[in-house]
Structures are given as structure tokens and as C-alpha cells.
Amino acid sequence: MTFAQAMFLAALQGVSELFPISSLGHTVLIPALLHWKIARESPQFLSFVVALHLGTALALVVFYRTTWKGIITAFVRSVVRGRFDGTSDEKTAWLLIAGTIPVALLGVYFESTVRSLFASPLPVSLFLVANGAIMFLGERLRRAQHAGRGKGYRVLEEISWLDGALIGLSQGLALLPGISRSGTSIVAGLLADLDHESAARFSFLLATPVILAASVVEVPLLFTPSGSAILTEALAGGALSGIVAYASVAFLTKYFESNDLRPFGWYCLVVGAVCAVLFATKVIA
């Protein structure tokens, strides 16, 4: 992997981790489309990926620093007192825990198996099409479901623990490369009758502990001989990924104030379908 390729992948990771278009899917498809020979299972590449995820997670922490400060303070206060006081930050903290447990269990037990089975271009292309379909279906179901209620959308503090757990569980679908973690969790949030802005915010908050924990655990990889061999790319890539992720989350939080998932759905349907044809017909080997 050249330095330029590394920086391209870092920028791609920063965008696609938070946009509902599947980061893993894109890091499989784009090198395949460009005929890049990248050994995805090599220790060097894994070290590089750890740095990219760390950059993304830190960008999320920095972007939501005030929110996280409130959430952590409310959580600690709640534990020290041994009771729920029902504040907004406290409810968010416990919703995040309810949502993180299922995806952590799924990730720890099934991630490597599922990814090794499906992380090749053709299945990824098909899953990307499915990701687009999930977003269209989610928007449609949500409109139909909300139409009969005759009141405004719920805010995050109004959803139940079960809703929080189900939104977290929905991220499990993103173990399949091509299915977006933020896409499925935003759709699940919409189906819990959240508005787009709240669903996206909860999705990004939910992503932070998962990405951060997964990357922090792997940080020692950076200090192994294979990690040292790629340290420059890893540091520069992590920084670039973080900057791009920060810009992405800033854009998306603004975007979801008045827009929905359909443009991303179209993108996934079109790109996934084109890639599926290219790989299935062996136009691109």
C-alpha cells in the first residue's frame, strides 16, 4: 500500500463510517475497482485500520464533547445515588448502554466469522443494494407508521429501553460488509418514531463507544514490528480520517435537520447494482 493509497483510504473511512453507505463495503469495493493489491488480512493493514478507527472515534468524541460530558456526569451521578432521576442526559446514558450491549455481543462473537465469509466484492455489492433498500423501506414504513399517530415525532428521551436496545441490535446487521451501521441504526431510530435529527444523533453517539473500544483494544498492534513498519501511514491516516469524520458528522447533523435517507439509498442502490454487474460479469476481476 502506497502513502497515497493509504491517505485515500483514510479519507474514505472518515466519510463512509458516518455517512450511511458502509465504510467496510467501500474499503472492499474501491480497492477492487481500482485494482489495488491490498492484503486486507495482513498485520500491517490491520494496524492501519486500527489507526483509522481511532481517528474516527476521537472525531466523534470531540464533536459531541459537551454532550458526552453531560452524559458521563449524569451516568456517574445516577450510579453514585443508586437511582434514576429522569434527566435527559441520564436517560441518554442508559439508552446508550441498552443499545451498546447487543451490538457488543454480536460484534465480539460474530464479526470475524461474518466478515471473512462475505468480504469480497460481489457479496459486498449485493449487500450495498440491500442497504439502499433498507433505507427506502425504513423511510416508507416510518411515514406509514407515523401517519396514524397524529402527533409530533418523539425526542430521544421519550423512547423506551427496548427501543434503545433494538436500535443497538440493528447495528448488528452492519457486520455484513455493505450494510451501514449508521444506516441501520438511523432507520431503527426512525421506526421508533424519532425524527431524522434525533435518530442520527443517537446513531453517532451509539457508534462512539463501540468504535472507540474496538480500536483502543487493538492499539497495541500499532507498536508491534508490523505496526511500526506502517506507523507513518497509520498516524497520518488516523489524523486525516479524524478530520474528515469531524467534517462528515458536522455536515450530517445539519443535513438531517431537514432531509432524509433517500439520497443515500439511491447512491447505495446505483453503486451497488453497477458494482454487482461489473463483478458478476467479471468485467472487473
Partner 1 sequence: MKILAIVLAVAFFTVAVLYWVGLFGGVHVKHGILFAGLGVLALIWLRFQSAAPTRAR
Binding site for partner 1 (CB under 8 A): 79, 81-86, 97, 101, 104-105, 108-109, 213-214, 217
DSSP 189-235: HHHTTB-HHHHHHHHHHHHHHHHHHHHHHHGGGGGSHHHHHTHHHHH
Residue with grid cell 469480497, as numbered in its chain: 120
- Minimal distance, residue 161 CB to partner 1, in Å: 13
Query: Which one, 109 or 223, has the nearer CB to partner 1?
Result: 109
Min dist CB 83 to partner 1, Å, is 6
Q: Which is nearer to partner 1, 210 or 245 (CB)?
A: 210
Nearest distance from C-beta of residue 84 to partner 1, angstroms: 6
CB of 108 to partner 1, least distance (A): 5
CA–CA gap between residue 132 and residue 126 (Å, rounded): 10
Q: Which is nearer to partner 1, 82 or 152 (CB)?
A: 82
**Toward partner 1, which CB reaches closer, 91 or 201?**
91
Helix H or strand E segment including 114: helix 88-118
Burial class (CB in 10 A: 0-12, 13-18, 19+), 192: buried
**Residue 86 or 152 having the CB closest to partner 1:** 86
74 contact partners, CB below 8 Å, separation of at least 6: 87, 89, 90, 92, 93
Q: What DSSP assignment string belongs to 60-78?
A: HHHHTHHHHHHHHHHHHHH
| Of residues 91 and 181, the one with the C-beta less far from partner 1 | 91
> Could you give the CA distance from residue 206 to residue 95 in angstroms, rounded to a whole number?
9
Q: How far is the CB of 94 from partner 1 (least distance, A)?
A: 10
**What's the closest the beta carbon of residue 38 comes to partner 1, in angstroms?**
24
Which residues neighbour 116 within 8 Å (Cβ) at sequence distance 6 or greater?
Answer: none
